[in-house]
Amino acid sequence: MPDFMDDQAVAARVLSHVREGTTDEGGEVWREPVENYRSEERLRRELALLRRLPVPFCPSAALREPGSYVARQAAGVPILALRGEDGKVRAFHNACRHRGAEVASGMGCAKALICPYHGWTYRLDGRLAGVPHERGFPDIDRSAHGLVPVLAQERSGIVFITQSGEPGERDPGEGLPDLIAADQDLIDTHDNEAEFNWKVSLEGSIEGYHIRFGHPETFYPYGYDNLNVVEHCGRNSRVTFPFRRIEKLADVPEAERRIEGRVTYVYHLFPNALVTVLSHHTILVVLEPIAPGRTRNVAYSLARTGGDPAAVETARRDAQFVTQTGAPEDRALAESVQRTLESGANEHFTFGHFESAIIHFHRNLHAALDESDQRAQEARPG
């Protein structure tokens, strides 16, 4: 499994494309049935897959201090991730062992988790610590009533959660570099729902074929029309979106080229997450399917500050530009696609040579769903 190229190799390939008027191309055309964006049965299979695989949940920076936690739904299931007093990240089903209420919500920091329904209290390692009026529960075994754990792993500055798969079944990092460095600070979070299938949104994020027409006044003036570097590492991908200012490196010796601020890297973390590395900040987006035509977008923005307060303000300004310009344009396009699905105009969507990261995604998704179905079949009694 080859690693992603280093910055100098990426710069050399981009500059070659600029000179030749070319771009990275794949070698096949893929036709994805439109029914796979509409089907309740397909969504059920996708959600089962998201619970079996290690998938990004939040950046490690969201759990910086002991007691810090993030609680949200992942693949339709309430999950709670937190950092314990020992510095270890753990995750649990966010369900009290008494009557099932969620013991935490949103983000915060706490010394213990207290269920808002009846006050059952849990330690940061999930153990049941207290039961109000415990005499009403004679012979209760506290050791058997702790929060139910799920597997949590930290890789590349991200917390990955595996709800139902075998521990160690697959390395969640899968060749990824250090995507979110330890000195990056969480500066913003967004959690909103939109009217499109999660795959439609993902597809628009991992190809540059649409930049000229989809972002004519926001991104295109600073970038190129259909010029990308596309790489794969295992089931993950990286798409490089260069800015025109990268051409200033043409006369710089290759070993001395620094491309920070001259490209945007978009990493696709299979199956449903994206890490976008911009000039001054990084964004982790997790696409949570809700229904065939509805998706929750959970986004975490982090500043590369190095302890500099001015860098935080610069990152906030850049993040605001992305949030208020390019993101709404992408959302409008995805919702437009979703509205046409019921028309019958298309039986399949066609992805060509300029959309090889999308083809890589669908090929791996089909294979993973088939594997997941096979495992489920083998696990059934009889």
In this predicted model, what pLDDT tens digit does every residue of 130-146 receive, in sequence order? 999 999 999 999 999 99
Average pLDDT over residues 53-58: 96
Question: pLDDT confidence of 149, banded at 50, 70, 90?
Answer: very high
Question: Taking the CB of residue 332, how many other CB atoms lie within 10 A of it?
Answer: 11
Question: Taking the CB of residue 313, how many other CB atoms lie within 10 A of it?
Answer: 14
- What does the pLDDT read at residue 227? 98
| Torsion on CA atoms 220, 222, 224, 226, rounded to nearest 10 | -40
With 60 as the cut, is the pLDDT of residue 108 above it? Answer: yes
Alpha carbon separation from 26 to 119, 175, 318 (Å, rounded):
57, 21, 32
Question: pLDDT confidence of 168, banded at 50, 70, 90?
Answer: low
Residue corresponding to tokens 């594997």: 371
Mean pLDDT is lowest, of 13-27, 176-190, 232-246, for: 176-190
With 90 as the cut, is the pLDDT of residue 95 above it? Answer: yes
- Provide the residue ranges of all domains of the chain, joining segments of one domain with +: 7-52+175-376, 55-162
Question: pLDDT confidence of 381, banded at 50, 70, 90?
Answer: confident
How far is the C-alpha of 21 from the C-alpha of 2, rounded, in Å?
Answer: 27
CB 240 within 8 A of CB 208: no
Mean pLDDT is lowest, of 31-45, 113-127, 182-196, for: 182-196
Question: pLDDT confidence of 377, banded at 50, 70, 90?
Answer: confident
- What does the pLDDT read at residue 171? 72
Q: Pick 7-52+175-376's CATH classification: 1.25.40.10, 3.90.380.10, 3.40.50.10490, 3.40.50.300.
A: 3.90.380.10
With 90 as the cut, is the pLDDT of residue 170 above it? Answer: no
Average pLDDT over residues 299-314: 81
With 70 as the cut, is the pLDDT of residue 333 above it? Answer: yes
- What does the pLDDT read at residue 7? 96
Average pLDDT over residues 266-280: 95
- What does the pLDDT read at residue 275? 97
Q: What percent of the chain clears pLDDT 90, i.e. is strictly above it?
A: 83
With 60 as the cut, is the pLDDT of residue 323 above it? Answer: yes
- What does the pLDDT read at residue 374? 85
Quick one: residue 133, left, alpha or beta (phi over 0 = left, psi -120 to 50 = alpha)?
Answer: left
Question: pLDDT confidence of 264, banded at 50, 70, 90?
Answer: very high
Helix, strand, coil percent values for the chain (each to nearest 5): 35, 30, 35
Strand order, beta sheet including 77-83: 55-59, 158-162, 149-155, 89-93, 77-83, 68-74, 106-109
Sign of CA dihedral 287, 279, 215, 213: negative
Q: What percent of the chain clears pLDDT 70, i.e. is strictly above it?
A: 97
Tens of pLDDT, residue by residue over 240-258, are 999 999 999 999 999 999 9
Q: What's the whole-number average pLDDT of the chain?
A: 93
With 90 as the cut, is the pLDDT of residue 54 above it? Answer: yes
With 90 as the cut, is the pLDDT of residue 320 above it? Answer: no
Fold of the 55-162 domain: Rieske Iron-sulfur Protein (2.102.10)
